[in-house]
């Protein structure tokens, strides 16, 4: 069971290294970076986990303010579960207070879907997290659409957003960051009705 004083762990999923920074697969890192900017802090190496973290508060001052740990696993996407579980244990975060922000192939580019629990839909970062700690964490699914023509999924997710997509990307990452704040302050149902598209 969790209560309002328990911290939240917001995990942006992606791959470490400059060569991956602008890939579709790294949109979770992009959202985490924007949230870090809003909190006004910088990521640093995590204690006891292969990740970068930033501790802070999110939301308006007062009873809606939430203690948060923003995290970017540095283990590569397919091994995200280990660092996330280590952070959960270290910061004593209930599973229902874990939020994974990730790219989603089965949703049109720019659409968001928030949900609690469920399958991994072939997403290796989620697969690794679920294997480590079970499926009952929140997901913020950022639509990237399906690959065009016969392009392989692996090639598609490891390519940068197209020039057309990049025109809207800043706005969409901003909206995804807003949805995280709404989830923490007002709960899943309210965030779903405001942001699911």
What is the pLDDT tens value at each position of the chain, 197 positions in all? Answer: 556 689 999 999 999 999 999 999 999 999 999 999 999 999 999 988 999 999 999 987 877 789 999 999 999 999 999 999 999 999 999 999 999 999 999 999 999 999 999 999 999 999 999 999 999 999 999 999 999 999 999 999 999 999 999 999 999 999 999 999 999 999 999 999 999 98
Angle (deg, nearest 10), helices 188-195 and 163-186: 150
pLDDT of residue 3: 64
What pLDDT is stored for residue 64 in this prediction? 75
Q: Could you please report the per-residue DSSP string of 76-121?
A: -GGGTHHHHHHHHHHHT--GGGEEEEEEETTS-TT-EEEEES---T
pLDDT at 2: 56
Catalytic residue among 25, 97, 123, 138: 25
What's the rounded Cα separation, in Å, for the pair 96 and 113?
17
* Complete edge-to-edge strand list for the sheet that includes strand 51-58: 44-45, 51-58, 66-73, 8-12, 98-104, 138-143, 112-116
- Does residue 102 carry a catalytic annotation? no
């Amino acid at each position: 069971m969790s209560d309002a004083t328990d911290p939240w762990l917001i995990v942006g999923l992606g791959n470490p290294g400059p060569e991956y920074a602008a890939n579709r697969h790294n949109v979770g890192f992009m959202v985490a970076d924007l949230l870090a900017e809003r909190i006004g802090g910088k990521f640093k190496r995590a204690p006891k986990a292969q990740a970068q973290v930033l501790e802070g508060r999110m939301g308006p001052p007062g009873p809606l303010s939430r203690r948060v740990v923003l995290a970017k696993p540095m283990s590569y996407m397919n091994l995200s579960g280990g660092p996330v579980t280590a952070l959960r244990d270290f910061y004593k975060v209930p599973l229902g207070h874990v939020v994974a922000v990730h790219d989603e192939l089965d949703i049109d580019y720019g659409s968001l879907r928030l949900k609690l629990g469920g399958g991994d839909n072939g997403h290796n970062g989620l697969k690794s997290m679920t294997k480590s700690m079970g499926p009952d964490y929140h997901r913020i699914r950022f639509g990237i659409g399906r690959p065009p023509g016969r392009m392989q999924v692996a090639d598609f997710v490891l390519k940068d957003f197209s020039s057309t997509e990049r025109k809207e990307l800043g706005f969409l990452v901003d909206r995804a960051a807003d949805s995280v704040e709404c989830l923490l302050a007002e709960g899943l149902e309210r965030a779903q009705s405001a942001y699911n598209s």
